Amino acid sequence: MIILNKIKNQISELRSKERGFTFIETITYLFIMSMLLLIISSMLMSIFNARKQLQASHAVQHNARFVINFLSNRIHNVDLITDVSPASEAWHFYQMPDIRFSIDVEGDDLIYRQVQDIGSGFPDQSTANPLALNSNKVVVSNLNIYSISDAHGNLNKGIKIDFVLTVGAPGNNYGYLQKSFSTFLSIR
Amino acid sequence: MLKVKRKRISNGVKKLAKQEGFSLMELLIVISFVSAMTLLIVAVSVSNNKLRYINEERTQALFYSTEALEAVELMNWNDLVVGDYSVELSGDSWVLNSGSQLLDNKYTRTISVEDVYRLDSSNGHSYGEIVTSGGYLDPDTKKATVSISWSSKAGSSKVESFQSYFYRWKAERWMQTDWVGGDGQGTWSDTTKFATKESGTDISVPGITTLQSGFIDWNDATTTANFDTPGNFDENDVYEVDDIAYLVTENNSSGSEFYILDVSDIYNPTELASLNIGASVNSVVVKGDYAYLATDGNNKELTTIDVSNPGSPSIVDTNDIGGNANAFDVVVDDTELYLVKGKYLYSFSLIDPAEPDYLDRINVDDKARELFLSENNVYIATEEDDAELQIVDVTNPANLNQIGEYDLPGNLKATDVYVLGNTAYISTQNNGGGPEFFIFEISDPSDPVYIGDYNFNETIHSFGIVGPYALVGTNFLNEELSVIDISVPASPSPVSGFDLSGYVLGMSANCSIIYAATSSNDGEFFIISTEVADCGYASSGTLESSTFDTDSAQVTYNWLSFTGSQPIDTDIRFQIATSNNSTGPWSFVGPNGTSGTYYSVAAQEFINYSAHLDQRYMRYKLFLNTNSSWEVPILEEVTISYSVYP
């Protein structure tokens, strides 16, 4: 019985020595946790923003490449280029005597229209089905087409083409991208 | 019991006394994990950015490269000498400068121009595959390589290269397919006219130029001789060339089915040799040293005989085409042989003329009887009642391709077919009151147009066309051979007829002699002569074209090709003359640049490069020749490829 009481006293003495976190420990813990959360959240934000930038960049590059490939294919098969300014569709590209196409910016889109003369003259370009060459996420603007002559002075042997592609709104720091493109395509 | 309890309590107290915080190792592990995660996230983020930069820069490089390669397309060819260049816009055109250029303060663009070498050369033209070592310099092709280099935001130097080949010339073609408009046209405008011709050249038939067929008069024609082959076996076909007649008969179980006769004396044909084929022979054609037979033999439907020595023919090859159907007809050109058997047209290569090599076959639906080869098409007379005339394109003999057909009225069975220029003729079995001889216009072989017919009221076994006459073997007992005038295709008219005592199953004819293989039992082979010793075929003739203006003093002439027929011992040849003066003079030369050579390869032959370079005006001269007793060459189309610059 004496021994038991002795043990009880020892336990009681040990328990009396236990105590909660000190104030310093709590402050230190909170500081470390805050720093960790800050680092992790900023990294996640960074990844998210990088992904948005990559998506915007990809959309612009993909659209630019598609436009240049599409127009290369069409322009290379053109026999004759005529400037019909001041009509809205400034340039007419004749692939064959009875088929012609035009490209123009309408709204946010780069529009390709092709018409055929089936014996009663060419229908107005605006009556042809519009084919948008850009995706709906990308805005096309500032399209400029310049006629280029060859080294022998023959006119309209190619076109210098400039355009601007935009993704996102200007206020969107990471989802906004605007790029200018310029190249030259010759007829064959 | 109490002792045990006491021990447990004692252990518990000791344990409680040993409690402590994180160890150093645990702390390091946690820090390492957090650091690794952080590094991974940073690495992914950096990689994404690099990818974005590279993608954007490559797109920009693509645009700059496209611009450069397209600009080179418009440059003066003479400026494209080997070296490094840049291009820039000056006004509304591109200017070529030496050296590289810096674009957007970042991209360095260099256009490198190199010479091109090709595998082969002919008449001064380099052609064939482009080779990287050896070969022949092609002065009309250049290789341009655009290199774009830049220091990438991604942290390294990048280079993109794009290559393209540039051909100097833009190829054009000058083609003439009709000469019926006549001579006297100095400058090319009417596509049916030309400058001059010799009297022997015949341009009267639309769509062809040939040699004069001379004087043909069937009014006094008479049988000069016949030849009786052993037994009562029908003679199915005959082919005459150089005064040698090759006869084939139905199966003679105890004798020969192939005979060679000397017919130089039309009053006294003599047998040179005969050969046992072992089966009925339905058709024979001879080319060079070989005769090709279409037979009923199941393992030798196509039999090849060496006739280089007419006195001693020998079988050198037999083709078992498969199946038990009989082969009915065979024709040849320079390099291929075509045969009809059952419902198929077969093609064979004659690269080794002693052993025809199977190439292809095409189904013509029902029994094919006879065929005729004209240009790149084989015309087939079949027993198919809804497509008696069928037309197969044999441009690629290894890939036969049906392009046209014609359904004669009723359920007729066609028996023979012949083509001359733009006109096709086809005969049928008895049409019961309707016509058995039909004429078609075939300038578009895919769409034969009916233009006339003639009603014999009897089956036609075979026929041939000589000049404006059709020689028709009918089933009449008292006029087995009829001659009709077909000079007006819409209304053929009878001229004369012959009683031969046997049906004409095959024939070989010219303007003065008909060699007829018949079903007679007494003298199956007939020779019928007009008794006009010289029927007036011209042995040669020339035609000089109008002057063609290429509209450029920077011009090269590429190749010449032509279509038509050149029977054995006939030929079609050309020479070219060029000048920078529309009135000449015209010095006609051949492939080696001299007047002693001629362009004679129908498929395509390179025109001498240097002899005509940069000569704006051009004429061709046609030379027709025949050494055959009755056959003439027929030109149907001539095409000259030229290229102008720019």
Query: With an 8 Å Cβ cutoff, are A57 and B9 in contact?
Result: no
Nearest CA to CA, how far is A44 from chain B (Å)? 8
Select from B9, B45, B51 the Cβ nearest to the Cβ of A7: B9
Predicted ipTM?
0.83
Task: Give pLDDT, residue B335.
Answer: 87
Chain A residue numbers with beta carbons less than 8 Å from the beta carbon of B9 are 7, 11
* pLDDT reported for residue B217: 73
Candidate from A13-27, A111-125, B253-267, B337-351 with smallest mean pLDDT:
A13-27
Interface mutation target, options A5, A35, A44, A183, chain B, most CBs of B under 10 Å = A183
Cα pseudo-dihedral B516, B517, B522, B523, rounded to 10: 60
Rounded CA-CA distance A17/B540 in Å is 134
Distance from CA of A75 to the nearest CA of B (A): 11
- Residue A79 inside a domain? The answer is yes
Strand partners, B106: none
Determine, yes or no, domain membership for A64.
Answer: yes
3-state secondary structure at position B332: strand
Q: Best mutation site among B92, B111, B551 for testing chain A: the one with the most A CBs within 10 Å? A: B92
The letter for the amino acid at B95 is V
- Asked, for residue A148, whether it belongs to a domain, the answer is yes
Instruction: Give residue A16's pLDDT.
Output: 57
Q: How many angstroms away from the CA of B612 is the closest CA of chain A?
A: 23
* Parallel/antiparallel/unpaired status of strands B513-518 and B469-474: unpaired
Question: Does A2 lie at the interface with B, CB-CB under 8 angstroms?
Answer: no
DSSP B422: T
Q: What's the token pair of residue B405?
A: 């057909």
pLDDT band at B317 (very low <50, low <70, confident <90, very high): very high
Of the listed ranges B30-39, B435-444, B637-646, the one predicted with least confidence? B30-39
Please name the amino acid found at residue A28. Answer: T
Across chain A, where does the E strand assignment appear? 80-83, 91-96, 99-106, 109-116, 131-132, 138-148, 158-167, 177-186
Which of B72, B93, B165 to mutate against chain A (most A CBs within 10 Å)? Answer: B93
What is the value of pTM for the model shown?
Answer: 0.52
| Cβ pair B617, B581 in contact under 8 A | yes
Chain A contact for B16, CB < 8 A? yes
Give A-chain residues touching B51 at CB under 8 angstroms.
54
The answer to whether B279 touches B297, Cβ cutoff 8 Å, is yes
- Counting one residue from chain A and one from chain B, the pairs whose CB atoms sit within 8 A come to 107
- How crowded is the C-beta side of A47, counted as CA atoms within 13 Å? 13
Average pLDDT, integer, range A17-36: 81
Residues 269-308 of B with CB under 8 A from A: none
List % helix, strand, coil for chain A (3-state, nearest 5). Answer: 40, 30, 30
Chain A CB within 8 Å of residue B89 CB: yes
How many whole angstroms separate alpha carbon B384 and alpha carbon A95? 44
pLDDT grade, residue A14 (50/70/90)? Answer: low
Q: A57 and B52: CB-CB below 8 Å?
A: yes
Range list of β-strands (E), A31-176 = 80-83, 91-96, 99-106, 109-116, 131-132, 138-148, 158-167
Give Cα separations from B439 to B414, B428, B434, B507, B542 (angstroms): 13, 12, 14, 20, 30
Put simply, the answer to whether B93 touches A36 (Cβ < 8 Å) is no
Q: How far is CA B579 from CA B185, B278, B355, B609, in A?
A: 17, 63, 48, 14
Choose from B38, B73, B96 for mutation: most chain A CBs within 10 A.
B73
Kindly list the residues from chain B whose CB atom is less than 8 angstroms away from the CB atom of residue A3: 6
Q: Cα A155 vs. chain centroid, distance in angstroms?
A: 36
Distance from CA of B457 to the nearest CA of A (A): 49
Residue B350 corresponds to which amino acid?
L
* Residue A49 resides in a domain: no
Other C-beta atoms closer than 10 Å to the C-beta of B25 total: 8
pLDDT of B630 > 70? The answer is: no
Are A61 and B71 within 8 A, CB to CB?
no
Residue among A120, A185, A47, A150 at smallest CA distance from B41: A47
The shortest C-alpha distance from B195 to chain A (Å) reads: 32
Least confident among B130-144, B209-223, B303-317:
B209-223
What per-residue confidence (pLDDT) applies to B274?
Answer: 94
pLDDT band at B347 (very low <50, low <70, confident <90, very high): very high
Name, in order, each residue with C-beta under 8 angstroms of B616's C-beta and a sequence gap of 6 or more: B549, B550, B551, B552, B553, B555, B578, B579, B580, B582
Describe the crossing of helices A2-17 and B2-18 by its angle, rounded to 10 degrees.
20
Min Cα distance A115 → chain B (Å) is 26
- B39 contacts chain A (CB < 8 A): no
Both tokens of residue B31? 């820090």
The model's confidence at residue B93, banded by pLDDT at 50, 70 and 90, is very high
pLDDT above 70 for B459: yes
Q: How many domains does chain A have?
A: 1
Say what the pLDDT of residue B200 is: 84
Chain B residue numbers touching A10 (CB-CB < 8 A): 13
A33 interfaces chain B, CB cutoff of 8 Å: no
Query: CB–CB of B584/B590 below 8 Å?
Result: no
Amino acid in position A40 = I
What's the token pair of residue B230?
Answer: 């052993």
Contact B41 A47 (CB under 8 A): yes
Domain membership of residue A39 (yes or no) is: no
Distance between start and end Cα atoms, chain B = 117
Query: B44 — contact with chain A (CB < 8 Å)?
Result: yes
Tell me which residue in B62, B70, B94 faces A65 most closely, judged by beta carbons. Answer: B62
DSSP E strand stretches across B534-608: 540-544, 548-549, 555-565, 570-579, 605-606
Return the SS3 of B248. Answer: strand
* 3-state DSSP assignment of residue B196: strand
Query: With an 8 Å Cβ cutoff, is A164 touching chain B?
Result: no
Mutate to test the interface with B, among A42, A184, A187, A188 (most CBs of B within 10 A): A184
What 8-state DSSP symbol labels residue B354? T
HSE-CB for B61 with a 13 A CA cutoff: 23
- Side-chain half-sphere CA neighbours of B590 within 13 A: 13
Q: Are A14 and B13 within 8 A, CB to CB? A: yes
- Is the CB of residue B10 less than 8 Å away from at least one CB of chain A? yes
pLDDT tens per residue, range B6-49: 566 556 555 544 555 566 787 788 778 878 877 887 888 788 88
Torsion sign, CA atoms B75, B81, B85, B90: negative
**CA dist B3 to A9, A10, A18, A98, B12, Å?**
18, 18, 28, 114, 15
Q: Is residue A53 part of a domain?
A: no
Q: B67 and A148: CB-CB below 8 Å?
A: no
Single-letter amino acid, residue B363? N
Task: Supply the pLDDT for residue A53.
Answer: 87
Interface test with A, best of B33, B35, B63 (most A CBs within 10 A): B63
Which chain B residues contact residue A53 at CB under 8 A?
A: 48-49, 52
**Which has more pLDDT, B45 or B540?**
B540
pLDDT of residue B30: 75
A:102-141 residues touching chain B, CB 8 A cutoff: none
Range of the domain at A81: 58-186
* CA A156 – CA A149 distance, rounded (Å): 5
Task: Determine the Cα–Cα distance for residues B545 and B556; give it in Å rounded to an integer.
Answer: 19
Query: What are B46-71's pLDDT values in tens digits?
Result: 888 888 889 899 999 999 999 999 99
Q: Return the pLDDT at B4.
A: 55
Whole-angstrom distance, CA of residue B73 vs CA of residue B75: 6
Q: What is the pLDDT of residue B604?
A: 83
CA B59, CA B63: separation in Å to the nearest integer? 6
Give the model confidence (pLDDT) of A42-94 as tens digits.
888 888 888 888 889 999 999 999 999 999 999 998 988 888 776 667 788 99
What does pLDDT average to over chain B? 88
Which chain B residues touch A11 with a CB distance below 8 Å?
9, 13, 16
In whole angstroms, what is the distance from residue A143 CA to residue B427 CA?
68
Q: Which tens digits make up the pLDDT trace of B490-513?
A: 889 998 888 877 888 888 887 778
Does A3 sit within 8 Å of B6, measured CB to CB? yes
- Determine which helix (DSSP H) or strand (DSSP E) holds B423, and give its type and residue range: strand B423-428
Cβ B185 vs Cβ B195: under 8 Å: yes
Q: B323 falls in which pLDDT band (50, 70, 90)?
A: confident
- Alpha carbons within 13 A on the beta-carbon side of B149: 9
A10 to chain B, any CB pair closer than 8 A? The answer is yes
Cβ-based contacts of B44 with chain A (< 8 Å): 47
- Cα nearest neighbour of B89 on chain A: A148
* Chain CA centroid to CA B507, Å: 29
Residue linked to tokens 């052609």: B127
Q: Residue B6's pLDDT is what?
A: 58
Lowest-confidence segment of B212-221, B380-389, B433-442 by average pLDDT: B212-221
H or E stretch at B45: helix B24-73
B63 in reach of chain A (CB within 8 A): yes
Residue B46: closest C-alpha in chain A: A50
**Residues of A whose CB is below 8 A from B41:** 43-44, 46-47
The predicted pLDDT at position A45 comes to: 86
Quote the minimal CA–CA distance from B16 to chain A in Å: 8
What value does the mean pLDDT take over residues B589-608?
Answer: 91
Please give, rounded to a whole number of angstroms, the shortest distance from the CA of B44 to a CA of chain A: 8
CB contact, 8 Å: B15 with chain A? no
- Residue A93 domain flag: yes
Is residue A105 in some structural domain? yes
How do residues B166-203 score in pLDDT, each as one tens digit? 887 677 889 999 999 999 999 999 999 999 998 789 99
Distance CA B540, CA B633 (A): 10
Contacts of B186 (CB under 8 A, 6+ apart): B195, B546, B547, B583
A183–B41 CB contact, under 8 Å:
no
Binary contact (A151, B64; C-beta < 8 A): no
B646 vs A72, A152, A155: nearest CB? A152
Q: What is the pLDDT of residue A64?
A: 95
